[in-house]
Structure 1
Amino acid sequence: MKLKKRFALSLRNNLRFIPDEVFIRMCFKAKLHYKLDLDHPKTFNEKLQWCKLHYHNPVLTTLVDKYDVRSFVRERIGDEYLVPLYGVYDSVEDIDLDELPEKFVLKCTHDSQSTIVCTDKSRFDFEVAKKRLRTALQRNWYWQGREWAYKDIAPRVVAEAYLDEPGRQTPTDYKFYCFDGKAALVQTDADRFTAHDMQYFTPCWEQRGDINNEVSKRTPTEKPKNYGLMLEIAEKLATGLPHVRVDLYNITGKPYFGEMTFYTGGGFDPFYAEENLPDLLDCELGDMFNLPCDEVKQ
């Protein structure tokens, strides 16, 4: 993790004394450059902030836990779509490197940005990996953006299979933005740690504008041959939820579940060019986002 990111994580952790709503309003204005309206939220990002403060469905904690969510996925769509699991550990000291294959992935169950990839065990610096994971295990991700679902997750580490997509250094992410069980937008992220190419598509795979409100000049991400199955899987997992982003991988024609996200970018990611605030896409997604107004505020 870059020094700038580590500093930001540490800073937010030290701002716990600031009430949630005040903190959220500050970050929203600083990052999105328009005033947050929590009384009448309209845009996608505004409604994500509202959910942080008011939508406290206990199932969300299970669904964002990278280990506990596996039971939910198994019940909804079957375990054939789960990435093979090598182990789950309460402490980094419990990880036995000798028991892991040559390629694997380590990640914490309770946060974001703690993923460690090993593609060659003979060159893998396990001590550095353990140091990073120890730090992550001591961090409550809730304090980074006041994302309620992460507040009470038990911090653990999982070891999973490394997914190898031919022609890619890292597998392409397919992120399905779903509202009330129906996909409204698909985001693709290819080569995210090298020449990152992010693109947006409609559920019918028509290309949309990217984060600068312009269609990517790169070759459009190819529509997977099994896209219909991927869409079906995403919508099955999203059923019964006002909004969730379901992330999938597609390895040689086989879909794999990645994760479920309820606060994309913490609700602070722009969809717009700064001279046009808020952007059409931010508004369009907001229009499709029916808030669970009958939820008891907590």
Structure 2
Amino acid sequence: MTLRRRLAGAIPQLAWRDAALARQQEELLVRRQEVKDAGARSAAHEETISAQAAQIEELTAQEGARSAQLEETRAELDAVQRHAASLVDVDDYLAEPSFRRQLLTLRRTTSELRELDPHYRHPLRQIPFKLRNYRLAASHGIAVPTVYGTWKEPEQIDLDGLPEAFVVKSDGGAASRGVLPLLAQGQGRWRTADGARDYTADEVREQMRDLLTRRKVMRPFFAEEFLVQDEAVPIPDDIKVYACYGEAQQVLVRRVSEHGAGGAHVRRYLRPDGSDLGQVVAGVPVDETIPVPARLPEIIEVAEHLSRAMGVPFVRVDVYDTPGGIVLGEITRAPGGEQRIRADQDQVMGRAWERAVYRLDMDLLAGRPAGVLHGSHEAPSLYHESHVSRSARPGSWAPTVVGCDRWCRPAGRR
């Protein structure tokens, strides 16, 4: 027996302490095993939690994909429903008159007319020429801008000696292409009326040459009077009258703050009597503070007179209301843009177009000469000396002159 055991047997306190230490060691071993076991369980839990987190993340991604797919499906369904709502029964569609339908048909068929009429015998083929329309209006006693000079080619355009303000134009071109309202700045420079850009004479010629090369404009080129309205309006309001063979249907007053086809502008739509038509075209800014033209009755009379003289069911007659009186801007056979007019107005103007076809037919049966009718006022050709309009050879450019009292005035005024 060892000394420690003999002493423990002899001293009870030592025996008790040793027993306690033995028990504590056993408990310590048990606790260490428990900690180890707890660590293993914790690691297992963390692994489970990580797996569950990954699963949640995957489910979230799947849910997001399903939500996106659901939104896409809803968008497609909405598009289908909108398209279905926009569809109309063909019979119902054709049962109602439509200005837009008539206009789109006219735009489409003018390409056919171009092939059938290469010599510009049909009145629709003659409308796009500005200088020809100036001569036509002047022959009916309607004021036109003073033309300072004409040039066959862009390279011949000469700005020297022109007034401080003038407009350079091409004989044909839509949406303000080939139109430059210029104000002299000195030292061989000119600025557009809206102040947006300066030009030299060479730059003016270069721009017209580029437009001609791209077939956006037609020869010849000319410089004309810069029309004014008043000091508060640097660019005169463009007053556009939609007329169906002598009957005005609506008036568009277009106020421009920036020159050009895409320039900033606001509009006001009026009935021929000056009452407001409201928002005729969706999405186009309307400003009801634009004043009704003071000479609106005279404007309507001018537009209706010229629309009869043109010998076609529909034209738009553009004029300016200047301090000196009403001045012709241009005559348009098929206004551009989508022309998605409010349904009620679309039907009103469509019916007027349809009636105009037959009213023109009735006049032709009653003896009206076919085509464009010039009035009896003196109106020399504004084209340059070598232009086909000055040829002695009979042809489509030779005007048919008829007194206005027979065919160009309303029935009650003839």
Q: With structure 1 as the length reference, what TM-score do the two structures score? A: 0.71
Compute the displacement of 1:72 (Å): 1.1
Cα drift, residue 102 of structure 1: 1.4
Comparing 168-177 and 57-66, the one that deviates more:
57-66
Equivalent residue for 2:168, pick from 106, 118, 132: 106
2:244 is matched with 179
Question: CA offset at residue 181 of structure 1?
Answer: 1.0
Alignment of 1:1-298 (within 5 A): 40=94, 42-54=97-109, 56=113, 58-78=122-142, 81-112=143-174, 113-122=177-186, 123-124=189-190, 125=199, 126-141=201-216, 155-166=219-230, 167-193=232-258, 196-212=265-281, 218-239=287-308, 240-252=311-323, 254-265=325-336, 268-272=338-342, 279-290=343-354, 292=357
Distance 1:61 1:87, change over 3 A: farther
Q: CA distance change for structure 1 residues 121 and 58 in 2, over 3 Å: closer, same or farther?
A: farther
- Matches of 1:241 and 1:191, distance apart in 2: 29
The aligned amino acid for 1:241 is V
Alpha-carbon displacement from aligned partner over 1:259-290 (angstroms, at most 9, x marks no partner): 01111115x23225xxxxxx332232212212
Judging by fraction of residues, say which structure has more helix: 2
Aligned partners of 1:120, 1:218: CA distance in 2, in Å?
A: 32
The whole-number CA distance in structure 2 between the counterparts of 1:75 and 1:128 is 35
Displacement of 1:213: 5.1
Is the 8 Å Cα contact of residues 268 and 288 (structure 2) preserved in structure 1? no
Cα distance, 1:178 vs. partner? 0.3
The superposition leaves residues 201-250 of structure 1 with CA deviations (integer Å, 9 ceiling, x where unpaired) of: 00000001224559977443323332222111111000132000000001
Query: Aligned pairs, how many?
Result: 241
Q: 1:86 to 1:199 in 2, by over 3 A?
A: same
TM-score by structure 2 length? 0.53
SS in 1 for 2:106: helix
Amino acid of the residue matched to residue 114 of structure 1? G
Equivalent residue letter for 2:246: G
Structure 1: 4+ residue segments shifted above 6 A: 214-217
What code does the residue aligned with 2:252 have?
Q
In the alignment, is the contact (CA less than 8 A) between 1:181 and 1:236 conserved in 2? yes
Structure 1 residues 76-129: Cα deviation after superposition (integer angstroms, max 9, x where no partner): 234xx1101011111122111113111110111121222111112423222222
1-structure distance, mates of 2:272, 2:283:
18
Paired residues of 1:77 and 1:236 also in contact (CA < 8 A): no
Partner Cα distance (2:106, 2:307) in 1: 16
Q: Which amino acid aligns with 1:118?
A: L
| Stretches of structure 2 lacking an aligned partner (at least 5 in a row) | 1-85, 114-120, 191-198, 362-414
Q: Residues 161 and 77 from structure 1, CA distance in 2 versus in 1: closer, same or farther, beyond 3 angstroms?
A: same
Alpha-carbon separation, structure 1, partners of 2:345 and 2:87: 15
Bigger radius of gyration among the two: 2
Distance 2:282 2:255 in 1: 18
1:121–1:68: structure 2 CA closer, same or farther, 3 Å change rule? Answer: farther
Q: Distance in 2 between matches of 1:171 and 1:179?
A: 25
The structure with higher relative contact order (CA 8 Å, sep 6+) is 1
* Identical columns (%): 24
CA distance in 1, matches of 2:154, 2:141: 31
Between the aligned partners of 1:269 and 1:168, the Cα distance in structure 2 is 26
2:267 and 2:145 map into 1 onto residues whose CA distance is 23
Contact 1:105/1:162 (<8 A) preserved: yes
CA contact (8 A) 2:170 2:218 kept: no
Q: CA deviation at 1:292?
A: 4.4
Matches of 2:207 and 2:285 in 1, distance apart? Answer: 34
Of 180-189 and 132-141, more deviation after overlay is shown by 132-141
Distance in 2 (CA, whole Å) between partners of 1:51 and 1:181 is 19
Q: CA deviation at 1:44?
A: 1.4
| Gap runs ≥5 in structure 1 | 1-32, 142-152, 273-278
